[in-house]
Structure 1
Amino acid sequence: MSISDQLTRPWVRTLALLVSIAVLVSLLWQSDERVPPLEAESLRGPSEPDGFVINGLYRSFDASGQLNTMISSPRIEQFESTQLATMVNPNATLVDKNTGSPWTLTAETGTFHEQKNLVELQGNVIVTRQLGEDRQGTLETEQLTLDNANRTVYTDAPVTMTDGRSTTRATGMTAWIDDRILELKSQVIGLYEPANSKPQ
């Protein structure tokens, strides 16, 4: 009787299947005993996040319960060991507690440092604020740090500010959001365009 004839018998096929299952279970059991349990970070690698949020929204309120900061991002990745969260295309709104008028910040990427309550914005950072019915103030830079606890924004990078009538360039600046104070650090250059005179 040939081997192919023997394999066509039901009891031979069943026996072969049982032997295969026993070998598989034995291999799995031995592999579990030889490999020590690994932490989640070791399995995923140090550069991979612990979790992520799609279309995340972070809100911060002052002591009286009024909204003072809101940050949204299409994707936020969380790293528990360093207490960091990275954001793609973050969009932040800071509310002036005295006037209620918003400052809007956008960037290519952002990093939230949970322990320090800091947000570092990187790449094509743009800050806008309405100055009146017909004017808007804009600040552009490549890096900006938002200190949510002290309500300040600052950078050591070059900045360009426009308000519809003037352009100011400088290297480094600090702004106090609620006090509406701006301090430029160095290499300050200002260009002022006077309003057009009315025709006679």
Structure 2
Amino acid sequence: MIAGDFLSRPWVRALALIISFAVLVALLWQSDERLPPLEAESLRGPSEPDGFVVNGLYRSFDEAGQLTTLISSPRIEQFEASEVAIMTSPDATLIDKNTGSPWKLTAASGTFHQQKNLVELEGNVIVTRQISDDRQGTLETEQLTLDNESRTVFTEAPVTLTDGRTITQATGMTAWIDDRILELKSQVIGLYEPATSNSR
């Protein structure tokens, strides 16, 4: 009966509750110390991005502050550990340093390697450039790499080039953007279409 009276006192119940809480905190603290720290990658899985950007825009400038490259994408997934960004439907504009004329690039997907400053484009890659007022040059391939440091684009895949008068097919290509030099590597086939006359 004395023990019952003792346990029914409010301060004893409060003290017992505090002790129980302290023991629970101590147990949780010790269990945390035994577990290895969980990294973001182990929580989300290696194939999931650290973050993503909607309607992202990437700009690159030369030493004089002039815009040289502009790349946009409706969704960019970022992987911090590998310093890689994966772009959906990238749309790029490369500015010719000498003439200021743009090269337009589109693809189904693209991977930006931040350390190397490389963009790998894949799937229905199309590059267009205005040759003259009435002619446009087009390059089509399934894979193309843009090296933003050397200002080159290159591929080992088959390519098709058209300029309104000729169609050229080859396997492998390197192009120097600012020098407007194009090197086709192998299996080059060209077809020339003469201008048609409306006179009879």
1:37 CA drift (Å): 2.5
Deviations 1:140-179 (A, max 9, x none): 0000000000000000000001111110000000000000
Tell me what 1:11 maps to: none
Q: Which residue does the alignment assign to 1:38? A: 38
- One-letter identity of the residue aligned with 1:29: L
Aligned pairs (5 A) from 1:32-181: 32=32, 35-181=35-181
Inter-partner Cα distance in structure 2 for 1:36 and 1:174? 49
Distance (Å, rounded) in 2 between the aligned partners of 1:50 and 1:198: 60
Q: Distance in 2 between matches of 1:33 and 1:113?
A: 37
TM-score (norm 2): 0.83
Give RMSD over aligned pairs: 2.0
CA distance in 2: counterparts of 1:150 and 1:35, whole angstroms: 47
Aligned to 1:183: 183
Q: Residue 10 of structure 2 aligns with which residue?
A: none
SS in 2 for 1:164: coil
2:150 & 2:81 partners in 1: Cα distance? 25
Q: Shift in Å at residue 66 of structure 1? A: 0.5
Question: What is the number of residues matched between the two proteins?
Answer: 180
Q: Distance in 1 between matches of 2:198 and 2:39?
A: 73
Question: What do residues 81-107 of structure 1 show as CA deviations (whole Å, max 9, x unaligned)?
Answer: 111111000011000011111000000
Shift of the alpha carbon at 1:51? 1.1
Q: Offset of 1:32 from its aligned partner?
A: 4.4
Q: Write the distance in 2 (CA, Å) between the matches of 1:131 and 1:36.
A: 61
Distance 1:36 1:97 in 2: 52
Deviation at 1:80, TM superposition (A): 1.1
- For 1:29, the equivalent position in structure 2 comes to 28
Identity within the alignment, %: 77
Flag as ranges the 4+ runs of structure 1 deviating above 3 A.
25-36
Unpaired runs of at least 5, structure 2: 1-16
3-state SS of paired residue (1:75)? strand
Q: Structure 1: which 5+ residue stretches go unaligned? A: 1-18
Instruction: Give the Cα separation in 1 of the matches to 2:181 and 2:115.
Output: 26
Match of 1:16 in 2: none
**Partner residue, 1:194:** 194
2:41 alignment partner, SS class: helix
